[in-house]
Amino acid sequence: MKNKTKNQCGRKGERIFSNVCVLPSLLGVMIFFLVPFCIVIYYSLINNPVLKEFVGLENYTKLFSNSAFTKAAKNTAFFSLVSVPLSVVLSLGLAMLLERNIPGKSIFRTFFLSPLMVPTASVVLVWQVLFHNHGTVNQIVEAMGGHSVDWIKSSNGQLVIICMFLWKNLGYNMILFMSALCAIPKDIIEVADLEGAGSFYKFIHIKLRYLSPTILFVLILSMINSFKIFREVYLLTGNYPNDSLYMLQHFMNNTFNSLDYQKLSAAAVLFALLMIVIMAVLLIAEDIFGKDVEN
C-alpha cells in the first residue's frame, strides 16, 4: 500500500527534482523575456523616457495614423494570410501524393528537404537570377509571347516572397504530414474500403480527422516561420524595399534606428496581443476538433 502511493505521487525529493529542472529555464525566460516585456508595456504608455508621464493609449492611436506602420502591418498580414494556409494545403497534398505507390520515395523526400540545407542568402541569390528583369522567368515569359515583368521591385514582390517561403517550408511540413498519415490506423481505412467508401469520403471523414492535430501543429509552425520571412526580404532588397515588401520587421528596425521607443513598444505590444488572440482561437479549434479524435 505504502509502495503504491509512493509510485503515484513520488517521494518529495523526486518531485522537488522535477521542479528544480524547470527552474533555470524559468529564470532565463523571466530575465530575458518577461520582465523586459513588462518594461516595454510601461514604455508604450508613457510619453518619453525622460518625463515619464502617462499618456494612456496615445502611442497606440499615433501608431494607427502612421502610414509606415499600417503599410507594414498590411503587407505582413497579407503575406501570412496567403502563405500559411497555402503551405499547409500544399504540403498535405505533397504528402498524400508521396503516400502513393511510387518509386524513389526516400530520394524524393530528401529532395524536398534540401531547401533546409541551403543558406538563405544563397537562395536569395538564385532567386535574384530567376526573377531578375532580364532573368530566367522573364525570358520564359517573353518566349511565350508575354511581356517581361519587374518581379522584385514592384507589387509582384509578394508573389516572389510567397514562392520562396513555400519552397523553403513545404519539405519539412510534408514530413510531418507523412508521419501523421502513417499513424492513421490501417483497419479503419480497410473497413471503409469494405463498405465501399469513396476516396473523397475517406479523406474528409477519416484522414482529415486523424490529421487535425498535425494540421494545427503545421499551422503554428508555418505561422512562426512566416514572420521570419523578413530575412529573405532583407537579403533581397535591404532596409528600404519596394512598398509591397515593407514588412513589420522593417518598420521595427527603422523605428529602432530613429530611437523612437514609444512607437516601437506600442507596436510590439499590439503585435503580442494579436498573437495571443490567434493562439486563443487555435486552442479553441483544438478543443473542438481534437476531442473527437481521442474518442
Partner 1 sequence: MKLKRMSVNRRRKIFNIFVFGFVLLAAVLFLLPTVLTLANSFMTSNEINANYGAMLSNMTEDKKTFISTNVNLKFIPDKVTFDQYKAVLIQNSDYLMKFWNSVWLTVPITVFQMAVAILTSYGFSRYPNKFKGIIFFAYIILMIMPYQVTLVPNYLVADTFGMLDTRLSIILPAIFSPFSIFLLTKVMRRIPISYVEAAKLDGAGEFKILTKIYIPLCKGAIVSIAMLVFIDYWNMVEQPIVLMREPTLHPLSVFLSQINEKDIGLAFAIGVVYMIPTVLMFLYGEDYLVEGITYSGGIKG
* Shortest Å distance, C-beta 215 to partner 1: 8
For partner 1, the closer CB: 60 or 172: 172
* Shortest Å distance, C-beta 10 to partner 1: 6
* Shortest Å distance, C-beta 278 to partner 1: 8
For partner 1, the closer CB: 236 or 244: 236
Q: At what angle do helices 230-237 and 120-131 cross, to 10 degrees?
A: 60
For partner 1, the closer CB: 47 or 254: 254
For partner 1, the closer CB: 55 or 220: 220
For partner 1, the closer CB: 131 or 158: 131
* Shortest Å distance, C-beta 157 to partner 1: 16
* Shortest Å distance, C-beta 169 to partner 1: 11
